[in-house]
């Protein structure tokens, strides 16, 4: 009989699960956002990454508790769907979907300058800042090369994922080891380089913004810590999930923070906050080219290794969020919160084709945004969805006190309350910062929420959720609370 | 037709747990209500369903299991009376819900006045026992399968694979569509998966969810 067959391939150990989480966090974020953070906060970018690690840790506790007690491989949306009524869970899914899509645009935008830097290291093209726009002869308009590259990268990965089912988790482990090794090389050379011995971290806070500039920089770089959501999507394949999932979340988060701090410290110590800021999305790559040895065989230039790491990281991260965003849309389709076609596999390709295509449209459109706007918007939506995840933990404890919780967070209800508070503070700071500096990003964010409201009403009216029993009484308030 | 059912199973013992496992493999949402703490721990280790620890006849506990949103409640404990009580209470709390009760005698009719369906595991068990006693020449489906599921699946209107020929559909590895539309010959590459028709399909447990998605949407 079919006993114990649900997870015949429960073969991911604690190490693999940890690597999946680290792989998602260590990657594009550190390469792309360090320069931008330095631009806002100066040398205090180090503080920015440290504090963000702390803020995320509180939500990490909530994720650990939910992942251990709700056996669903769907990440944040699946948990919230289990607990909240139709509208709240729809909003959660809608926001998370957007966060992932914009993250995709962000990684594509980070890929482009790093790829140009790589070509430059090999002498194929001029330094990135001199690669201008590609003149399009017919329409008499110039398309920036970086934009074109980002667009092509998204298109290629979307096409790949649309027609073939994704690579397995074991590839992810290899990717992560490659990325971490490259960063370790970076840190090792940086610490021993003569540039670092004269490192100057004073004044820690930039003159323009002062200590307050740390907060908007935290908002911008928050997305770098979003990755452990991905661990909860493979729980089914993890051995002894109720112990290993919480552990994997905490270990990967701690390890990521350590790596980030080392990398940012070295980058600022060598290139200086201003130099980093000037290099923008290619900050780490520029720092590496400045102190890595040159004249090596094959790779010619030690910096090329790091630049390759940046290109590799942004591409793998882009691939991961293409999958992640389409999976959220797919789950929403399964739950009949989007058109049912989103929740269907394509008969020929066996992939969630419609969900991938829809995600691709938004990603391709977002590639036209400035990198910083993409980072800000993605962070904003992750912050909001993390607030909901923390609320979900509290609500689940109150409404279902007798639910079996293999992992219970310590000091409940302090961690989720602190998590909600800190995430909201960052949200407010970020929104305030956007009002001042980037109204376009804010407008688009609000527009997406409004679009969601319209979509929800239309689907509701079209009777997309027509089943007699389950969802008509959408208000689920068993405990008599609200 | 809801593709994913929200199912509450009262009783996480052998019958309840196996049922939950099969349903979860097919992509349905399962919540188990179980009284015994040790059984609860065992289920948690397998990570197939959310578990509410408590007595399924307690309305507070059933509400924690999300009775308002559930499509089906299956009372699968070893006590018929208890199972009946759970189903009646559930139908009271959510009139739309489908109720399934496990009974301990063959007297189906007595119960079907109160619940939508009954099951009598001993009868299925007896069939399997007969299979084993006779040997391997003739077996009912339930026992030929080992880990495989061999199922009759009706192709739903509007499902991704509906109206397509077998060659056009990429089923995941571990799937075999056995019969053609009428069920009287073996499927061929050009066999069409007609909506509304039933096909005999053999599937490995890991991919049941995907196959169901393709055939049922």
A480 touches chain B (CB under 8 A): no
A345–B24 CB contact, under 8 Å: no
Which A residues, 21 through 80, put their C-beta within 8 Å of a C-beta on chain B?
69-72
Chain B nearest-CA residue for A67 = B47
Chain A residues within 8 A of B97 when measuring between CB atoms:
469
Q: Which member of B54, B205, B214 has the closest CB to residue A2? A: B205
Length of chain A: 482
B155 touches chain A (CB under 8 A): no
Which residue, among A128, A103, A104, A132, has the nearest Cα to A115 in the 3D structure?
A: A128
Over its length of 482 residues, how does chain A's per-residue pLDDT go in tens digits? 333 333 334 567 888 888 878 877 877 778 888 888 888 888 888 899 999 989 999 999 998 898 888 887 667 888 888 888 888 899 999 999 999 999 888 888 888 888 888 887 776 666 555 554 444 444 444 557 778 888 888 888 888 878 776 555 566 778 888 888 888 888 888 888 777 766 666 666 766 666 778 888 888 888 888 777 777 766 767 788 778 888 888 998 899 899 989 998 888 888 888 888 888 778 888 888 788 776 666 556 667 888 888 888 888 888 888 888 888 888 888 888 888 888 888 888 888 889 889 999 999 988 888 888 888 898 899 999 999 999 999 999 999 999 989 888 988 899 999 999 999 999 999 999 899 888 989 999 999 999 999 999 988 877 654 443 333 333 333 333 33
Residues A180 and A340: their CA atoms lie apart, in Å, by: 40
Q: Chain B: give the shortest CA distance to residue A263, in Å.
A: 38
How many CB pairs below 8 A link A and B? Answer: 136
Report residue B80: phi and psi, to 5°.
Answer: -60, -45
Helix (H, G, I), strand (E, B), or coil: what is residue A5?
A: coil
3-state SS string for chain B: CCCCCEEEEECCCHHHHHHHHHHHHCCCEEEEEECCHHHHHHHHHHCCCEEEECCCCCHHHHHHCCCCCCCEEEECCCCHHHHHHHHHHHHHHCCCCEEEEECCCCCHHHHHCCCCEEECHHHHHHHHHHHHHHCCCCCCHHHHCCCCEEEEEECCCCCCCCCCEHHHCCCCCCEEECECCCCCCECCCCCECCCCCEEEEEECHHHHHHHHHHHHC
A399 touches chain B (CB under 8 A): yes
ipTM (interface pTM): 0.77
Which residue, among A21, A20, A39, has the nearest Cα to A375 in the 3D structure?
A: A39
B47–A235 CB contact, under 8 Å: yes
Strands, E assignment, A71-140: 133-136
Residues A427 and A423: their CA atoms lie apart, in Å, by: 6
Q: Chain A: give the shortest CA distance to residue B130, in Å.
A: 15
Q: Which member of B25, B69, B172 has the closest CB to residue A470? A: B69
Q: Chain A: give the shortest CA distance to residue B117, in Å.
A: 17
Contact A196, A270 (CB under 8 A): yes
Chain B residues within 8 A of A4 when measuring between CB atoms:
21, 46
B21–A5 CB contact, under 8 Å: yes
Cα A210 from chain centre:
27
A2–B168 CB contact, under 8 Å: no
> Which pair of structure tokens corresponds to residue B78?
């070893």
Q: Chain A: give the shortest CA distance to residue B199, in Å.
A: 17
The pLDDT tens digits for B149-183 are: 788 888 888 888 988 898 888 888 888 898 887 77
Which B residues, 26 through 85, put their C-beta within 8 Å of a C-beta on chain A?
27, 29, 40, 43-54, 61, 63-64, 66-71
Mutation to test the A interface, candidates B68, B167, B207, most A Cβ within 10 Å: B68
Distance set, CA A5 to CA A406, B6, B9, B146 (Å): 21, 21, 19, 10
Helix (H, G, I), strand (E, B), or coil: what is residue A295?
A: strand
Distance set, CA A451 to CA A1, A379, A458, A462 (Å): 49, 19, 10, 16
Instruction: Give the DSSP H or E segment for A139.
Output: none
Contact A417, A58 (CB under 8 A): no
A478–B47 CB contact, under 8 Å: no
Indicate if the alpha-carbon torsion angle A283, A205, A60, A386 is positive or negative.
Answer: negative
CB atoms within 10 A of CB B93: 16
Q: Which member of B71, B169, B205 has the closest CB to residue A348? A: B169
Q: Chain B: give the shortest CA distance to residue A354, in Å.
A: 11
Q: Which member of B69, B169, B214 has the closest CB to residue A471? A: B69
């Amino acid at each position: 009989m079919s006993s114990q067959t649900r997870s015949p391939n429960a073969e991911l150990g604690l190490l693999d699960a940890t690597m999946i989480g680290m792989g998602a966090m260590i990657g594009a974020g550190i390469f792309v956002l360090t320069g931008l953070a330095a631009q806002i906060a100066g040398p205090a970018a180090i503080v920015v990454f440290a504090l963000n690690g702390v803020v995320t840790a509180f939500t990490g506790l909530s994720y650990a508790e939910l992942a251990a007690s709700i056996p669903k491989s769907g990440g944040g949306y699946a948990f919230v769907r289990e607990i909240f009524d139709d509208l709240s869970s729809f909003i959660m899914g809608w926001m998370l979907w957007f966060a992932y899509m914009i993250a995709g645009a962000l990684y594509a935008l980070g890929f482009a300058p790093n790829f140009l830097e790589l070509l430059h290291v090999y002498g194929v093209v001029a330094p990135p800042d001199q690669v201008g726009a590609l003149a399009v002869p017919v329409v008499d308009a110039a398309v920036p090369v970086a934009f074109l590259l980002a667009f092509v990268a998204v298109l290629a990965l979307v096409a790949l994922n649309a027609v073939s089912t994704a690579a397995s988790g074991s590839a992810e482990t290899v990717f992560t080891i490659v990325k971490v090794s490259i960063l370790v090389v970076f840190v090792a050379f940086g610490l021993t380089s003569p540039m670092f011995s004269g490192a100057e971290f004073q004044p820690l806070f930039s003159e323009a913004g002062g200590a307050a500039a740390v907060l908007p920089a935290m908002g911008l770089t928050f997305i770098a810590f979003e990755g452990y959501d991905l661990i909860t999507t493979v729980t089914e394949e993890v051995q002894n999930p109720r112990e290993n999932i919480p552990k994997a979340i905490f270990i990967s988060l701690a390890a990521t923070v350590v790596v980030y701090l080392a990398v940012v410290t070295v980058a600022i110590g060598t290139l200086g906050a201003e130099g980093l800021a000037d290099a923008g999305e290619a900050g780490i790559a520029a720092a590496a080219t400045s102190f890595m040895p040159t004249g090596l065989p094959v790779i010619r230039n030690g910096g090329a290794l790091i630049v390759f790491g940046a290109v590799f990281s942004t591409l793998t991260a882009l691939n991961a969020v293409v999958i992640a965003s389409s999976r959220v849309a797919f789950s929403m389709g399964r739950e009949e919160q989007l058109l049912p076609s989103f929740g269907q596999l394509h008969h020929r390709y066996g992939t969630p084709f419609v969900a991938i295509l829809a995600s691709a449209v938004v990603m391709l459109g977002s590639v036209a945004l400035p990198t910083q706007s993409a980072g800000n918007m993605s962070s904003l939506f992750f912050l909001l969805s993390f607030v909901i995840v923390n609320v979900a933990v509290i609500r689940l404890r109150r409404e279902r006190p007798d639910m079996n919780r293999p992992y219970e967070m310590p000091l409940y209800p302090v961690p989720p309350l602190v998590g909600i508070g800190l995430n909201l503070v960052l949200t407010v700071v970020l929104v305030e910062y956007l009002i001042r500096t980037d109204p376009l990003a804010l407008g688009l964010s609000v527009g997406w929420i409004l679009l969601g409201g319209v979509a929800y009403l239309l689907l509701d009216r079209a009777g997309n959720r027509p089943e007699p029993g389950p969802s008509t009484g959408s208000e689920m308030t068993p405990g008599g609370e609200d | 037709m809801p593709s994913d059912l929200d199912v509450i199973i009262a009783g996480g013992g052998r019958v309840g747990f196996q049922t939950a496992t099969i349903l979860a493999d097919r992509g349905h949402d399962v919540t188990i209500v179980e009284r015994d703490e040790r059984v609860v721990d065992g289920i948690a280790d397998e990570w197939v369903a959310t578990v509410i620890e408590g007595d399924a006849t307690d309305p507070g506990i059933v509400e924690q299991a999300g009775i308002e949103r559930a499509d089906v409640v299956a009372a699968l404990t070893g006590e018929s009376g208890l199972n009946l009580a759970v189903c009646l209470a559930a139908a009271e709390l959510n009139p739309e819900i489908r109720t399934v009760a496990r009974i301990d005698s063959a007297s189906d009719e007595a119960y079907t006045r109160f619940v939508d369906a009954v099951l009598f595991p001993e009868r299925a068990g007896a069939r399997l026992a007969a299979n084993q006693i006779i040997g391997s020449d003739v077996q009912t489906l339930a026992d030929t399968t080992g880990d495989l599921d061999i199922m009759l699946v009706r192709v739903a209107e509007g499902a991704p694979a509906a109206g397509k020929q077998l060659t056009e559909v990429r089923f995941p590895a571990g799937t075999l569509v056995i019969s053609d539309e009428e069920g009287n010959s073996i499927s061929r590459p050009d066999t069409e998966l007609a909506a509304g028709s039933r096909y005999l399909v053999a599937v490995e447990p890991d991919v049941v969810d995907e196959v169901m998605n393709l055939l049922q949407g």
